[in-house]
């Protein structure tokens, strides 16, 4: 039974997050490879806007492991986490003399894969 759980991957994803991929990667790189509890502490104390959404996604992945597979959250660690660019919201800013400057508001897609540690 323990051997079966060691290769089990738990996934969670969030799409169209209103944070630029560059700023999301800055946060995600800090938690890659850490345990679930360490990742929670890191995200709670980092001062970036993207941390709130990553915290929700991490909690969702842990809830998936607990509910769907009956796993203990303390045995999980972040195996892979990937940030991809999403569609940009396109807006225009009015400028002088009837001109308009385009504004692109980027979004991103984040996928997290957690694995069970064998203690």
The residues spanned by each domain of the chain are: 2-116
The burial of 60, by beta-carbon neighbours within 10 Å (0-12 exposed, 13-18 middle, 19 or more buried), is given as: middle
Q: Are 54 and 28 in contact (CB under 8 A)?
A: yes
The burial of 100, by beta-carbon neighbours within 10 Å (0-12 exposed, 13-18 middle, 19 or more buried), is given as: exposed
How much is the average pLDDT of 65-88? Answer: 92
pLDDT above 90 coverage of the chain, percent: 82
How much is the average pLDDT of 62-80? Answer: 91
Q: Tell me which fold the domain 2-116 belongs to.
A: Ribosomal Protein L22; Chain A (3.90.470)
pLDDT above 70 coverage of the chain, percent: 94
Q: Specify the range with the lowest mean pLDDT, choosing from 66-70, 73-77, 115-119.
A: 115-119
Determine the pLDDT at residue 8: 86
Edge-to-edge strand order for the sheet containing 9-17? 9-17, 108-116, 76-85
Q: What's the CA dihedral at 43, 44, 46, 49 to 10 degrees?
A: 80
Determine the pLDDT at residue 1: 42
């Amino acid at each position: 039974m323990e051997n079966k759980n060691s290769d089990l991957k738990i996934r969670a994803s969030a799409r169209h997050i209103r944070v630029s991929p560059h700023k999301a990667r800055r946060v995600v790189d800090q938690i890659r490879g850490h345990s679930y509890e360490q990742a929670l502490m890191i995200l709670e104390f980092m001062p970036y806007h993207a941390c709130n959404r990553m915290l929700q996604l991490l909690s969702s992945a842990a809830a998936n492991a607990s509910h769907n597979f009956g796993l203990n959250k303390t045995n999980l660690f972040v195996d892979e986490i990937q940030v991809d660019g999403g569609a940009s919201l396109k807006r225009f800013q009015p400028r002088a003399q009837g001109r308009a400057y385009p504004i692109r508001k980027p979004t991103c897609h984040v996928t997290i894969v957690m694995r069970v540690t064998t203690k």
